[in-house]
Amino acid sequence: MPFTSWDFLLYFLPLTVVAFHLIPSHCQILRKLLLVVASMIFYAWFSFECAALLLVSMGFNYLLAEWVGRKASKHGHWPLAIAGICANLILLFHFKYSNMFKESLGNLFGASFEIAPIVLPLAISFYTFTQIGYVIDVAKNPGMRCGFVDYCLFVVFFPHLIAGPVVRHSEIVPQFADRELKPDWGCLATGTAIFLVGLYKKTLLADPVGVHADWVFNHIAKGDGLTWFSAWIGSIAYGLQIYFDFSGYSDMAIGLAIMFAIRFPINFDSPYKALSISDFWKRWHMSLTRFFRDYLYIPLGGNRSGFRLHARNILLVFLISGLWHGAGWTFVAWGALHGLYLVTHLSWTNMTRCLGWRPSGRVWSAFAWCLTMAAVMFAWVFFRSPDMASALRMSKAMLGVDGIAIPHRWAAMVSEFPLASGIVSGVQMPNPAMGWFWLSMHLAGLIAIVVILPNSRQLFFNQREIENQIESHLPLMNRLGMRHGLVAGILLTGFLYTRFSAVPSPFIYFNF
């Protein structure tokens, strides 16, 4: 059940929280079992068949890690660990990518393969990567093994199960043992407040702007042409939709975990405030970026082998990252674009270092921000488009290949600028329900929220704790008391009750 559904908000979450708090704190194993059972019910709500696959995957990987850990003393454990990791990847490939490659081979060789419909198990990418990380960590340090109940809770804990963050054993399991899952009223109030901030972002910011993004992308999917202006508006609308959608989900996941006295690592840190593409990836989906860095980029050699191999490693990591996000060549193209962006940024950084040039100042920062956001928004076209043909048509429009056309009512104002004369033209375009002017104002308001307002971690945690979290990934301590959390919760609950749709849209990252 989605976090935004009434079933979750009115039944599952309150019952789970109440049952958890009714169990005495010294009955630690009962609290863990309750959370494991509740998490499996939460997942099985989507599909019983997928829940069975998740149980098989957990059993296999737990036994694999135990076997690897026991063989570590004999120094013959890595072949076994690699074989187990390959088995996980083969399972992921079968469910997520087999039809994609069958279709691609058929198109390439002019053959037709029978493509049976395969139901993609929900969150298979997330729980597969979580368990692969555990197996690798145990192979490196057998002392990290844990009991079966702790392992199950580590994998299926419902706040992170569906769309992350991609947590690591060393961050979560020690909290089960050391802190004995002892939440207080401050945890409950603060967790509720953070959860409701995420719910607000999803329902009142992401979903409404998503309607405008869908209008533009559905228009291009039908084969209709788009102007330069409408293409950029659609891309920016989707960029804001996925920003608030994923930011909202991350807040909700962190808030839910705090309700049960569990601290998750920070997963989202205002990526649209980044002044470079490198900074963007230090802020966007931080747990996944860290996973690829630790388990793929560094083993490949990282930045230790010269520029050419460094660039190769970056491109390979982002191609795989793109493929991880979805079974389609549009996702591969999205990953390749970001890989090229980062290689270009690396070249630029090396050149400025050699020249001894350190660009700075407000003008340079504004230019760097605009360039970074333009690159990110352009790449979102491939992430969102249903197929490569639609993505190419829209990217062509964004590049102004067929001219830079804007709504004809605005053309007279723009033509007063000498540089725009003869380049920008006014045309009659299909009008969205809100109208181009109010839609532009809507997007400008959301951009202002993104750039000016503090993010959730800045609202709820003090600077010292933020710095500690970045440097050592230690659990954050909240700074809101019970009264602050309850007041914020009551106000937001009343506001959402008057505006909340009974049929919420799913989170975008639920598809991965």
Return the active site residues. Answer: 325
Inter-CA distances, 460 with 287, 391, 435, Å? 20, 39, 37
* Closest alpha carbon to 284 in 245, 314, 316: 245
Tell me the C-alpha distance between 445 and 209, whole Å.
11
DSSP string, 431-463: PPTT-HHHHHHHHHHHHHHHHHS--HHHHHS-H
Give 308's Cβ-side CA count (13 Å radius). Answer: 0
Judge if the upstream peptide bond of residue 165 is cis by omega within 30 degrees of 0: yes
Euclidean distance between the first and final Cα of the chain, in Å? 16
- Helical spans, DSSP H, in 201-292: 207-221, 228-259, 277-283, 286-292
Q: Are 460 and 194 in contact (CB under 8 A)?
A: yes
Tell me the C-alpha distance between 97 and 103, whole Å.
10
Give 474's Cβ-side CA count (13 Å radius). Answer: 11
Instruction: Spell 406-432 as b/e; 16+ CB within 10 A means b.
Output: bbeeeeeebeeeeeeeeebbbeebeeb
CB within 8 Å of 295: residues ≥ 6 apart = 132, 133, 136
* Phi and psi angles of residue 217, each rounded to the nearest 5 degrees, phi first: -70, -35
Q: Are 240 and 447 in contact (CB under 8 A)?
A: yes
Q: Are 339 and 314 in contact (CB under 8 A)?
A: yes
* Closest alpha carbon to 51 in 64, 62, 38: 38
Tell me the C-alpha distance between 370 and 459, whole Å.
26
- With H, G, I as helix, E, B as strand and everything else as coil, classify residue 407: strand
* Closest alpha carbon to 91 in 57, 67, 123, 63: 57
CB within 8 Å of 386: residues ≥ 6 apart = 217, 221, 330
Residue 186 tokens, joined = 């401050």
